[in-house]
Amino acid sequence: MKLVRYGAPGREKPGIIAEDGKIRDLSRIVKDIDGAMLASGGLAKIKKANLARMKPVAGKPRLGPCVGNVRNFIAIGLNYSDHAAEAGMPVPKEPIIFNKAPTSICGPNDDTIIPKDSTKLDWEIEIGIVIGKRARYLTKENTKAAIAGYFLSNDVSERNFQIERSGGQWNKGKGCETFGPIGPWFVTKDEIKDPQNLDMWLDVNGEKRQRGNTKTMIFGCEHIVWYCSQFFVMEPGDIIITGTPPGVGLGMKPPQFLKAGDVVTMGITGLGEARQKVVKGKY
């Protein structure tokens, strides 16, 4: 299933993409596409719904973040060996974990706002994971059961904040407003046969920037979920983004960064496409 949240910011409704590619409203079946829905067996309820009897949602409504009310927004750094090389950093022996502020989350096609004092705004296409069940000290055997599905994301980053002003941690370069576009949809895991073999692409103003495949991840999706569960508890609706392939602005020679008016487009096989325009912030 391809689950979406559509409508104005803060007033999104739950929906599903039907076979005709149009949205069907799920408001009579579940309140939202979020952790509470996952914890209460909402996926099974949605699966039983008769989409043929539902009218398509009119027009082309805005798509909101594909998961609502996110409690914990987890991210993994340097998880592609070729990206680590372009960053001039060694391949990590264990996953590098950091957090993005949940307030950074926005819709897949919402504008990216340049934060105050930003000088090095960058892009990172990533595959995201939705946690479907409480994950605490998982075993390798039961990790897959804790995954509800996957989504497309852009780990928007401010490299000056992240690296030069980091103080030894990355959070303030990763959690600014609109730095977490997720979607267009949350795809349940039954539709993704192999999350470790999905093509990825990202362009800036129509020019090629990132090309990759999830098969080159150092730590795969299931391993990441298992690993994180050894250090903290994850609840239904928590999300993890898992690292980016090469081609980020920081790694270009010379480095290139985003400016107002730039348009970033991206996609991952089976997970849809997204588009973000970079705009000046109001402070």
| CATH number of the CATH domain containing 242 | 3.90.850.10
**Residue 127 shares a structural domain with residue 12:** no
**Residue 185 shares a structural domain with residue 247:** yes
Residue 168 is predicted with a pLDDT of 67
**Residue 47 shares a structural domain with residue 78:** no
**Residue 49 shares a structural domain with residue 127:** no
Structural domain span for residue 23: 2-53
Residue 271 is predicted with a pLDDT of 98
Residue 219 lies in a domain: yes
What lies within 8 Å, CB to CB, of 244 at 6+ separation is 79, 80, 83, 124, 125, 126, 155, 210, 212
**Residue 81 shares a structural domain with residue 164:** yes
**Residue 260 shares a structural domain with residue 166:** yes
**Residue 42 shares a structural domain with residue 137:** no
**Residue 43 shares a structural domain with residue 123:** no
Separation CA 172–CA 179 (nearest Å): 11
Residue 186 is predicted with a pLDDT of 98
Residue 64 lies in a domain: no
**Residue 43 shares a structural domain with residue 152:** no
Compute and round to an integer the Cα radius of gyration of the chain.
18
**Residue 103 shares a structural domain with residue 214:** yes
Residue 166 is predicted with a pLDDT of 65
**Residue 48 shares a structural domain with residue 96:** no
pTM listed for this prediction: 0.96
Residue 5 is predicted with a pLDDT of 98
Please state the domain count of the chain. Answer: 2
Residue 59 lies in a domain: no
Residue 89 is predicted with a pLDDT of 79
**Residue 130 shares a structural domain with residue 184:** yes
Residue 279 is predicted with a pLDDT of 98
Mean pLDDT for each 10-residue chunk of the chain (283 residues)?
A: 98 96 96 98 96 92 98 96 79 94 98 97 98 98 98 97 78 95 98 97 98 96 98 98 96 96 98 98 89
